[in-house]
Amino acid sequence: MVWLGIDLGNARVGLALSDPELTLAHPAGNIAVNGDSFLALDGVIDVIEDEAVDVVVVGLPVQMDGTEGRSAKKARRWAANLERRMRAYAEDGQFDPQAIATVTLLDERLTTVSAHRLLREARVGTRDHRPMVDQQSAVVILQTALDRRESREN
């Protein structure tokens, strides 16, 4: 079993994968989207199929007061589009119907702040943060989901 974490950025969509035991998340790269995260859908579907992903955890950018703004609505639309596209590809025979992953959303408040902190602690220069922060944010999102899963099971 493998889970995929996704951080929807304006320039890049960050990806993270779990280990098969669902204990640790690790960076899995970025997909350049140049202002339109919907451009990443096919690339994400390729990752889902190639890595046999069972669960996709998409970061939901909730505002600090707990309300959902435009970014959260966009993340919800993106996740719904991912589900629709997987089903459509399966119906067309382009995607294994057994490979359709479950898509969930996870509150990602302060994820980017945590990602920058982790990169600083790893002694990554500030100038080098930008290309790495989206995938590191995806790691934080995914690790949070994995930790919550673990605590529910115990």
CATH number of 100's domain: 3.30.420.140
pLDDT value of residue 63: 79
Question: What's this model's pTM, rounded to 2 decimal places?
Answer: 0.86
Number of domains in the chain: 1
Q: Could you report the per-residue pLDDT of 36-80, keeping only the tens digit for each?
A: 999 999 999 999 999 999 999 999 998 778 788 898 999 999 999
Q: Largest Cα–Cα distance in the chain?
A: 47
Q: What is the pLDDT of residue 48?
A: 96
Residue 49 · residue 4 · CB < 8 Å: no
Q: Is the Cβ–Cβ distance between 134 and 13 less than 8 Å?
A: yes
Q: What pLDDT sits at residue 119?
A: 58
CA distance 45 to 39: 11
Q: What distance in Å separates the CA atoms of residue 54 and residue 21, rounded to the nearest whole number? A: 12
Q: Which domain holds residue 101?
A: 2-153
Residues of the chain with pLDDT under 70: 109-132, 154
3-state secondary structure of 69: coil
Compute the chain's Rg from CA coordinates. Answer: 15
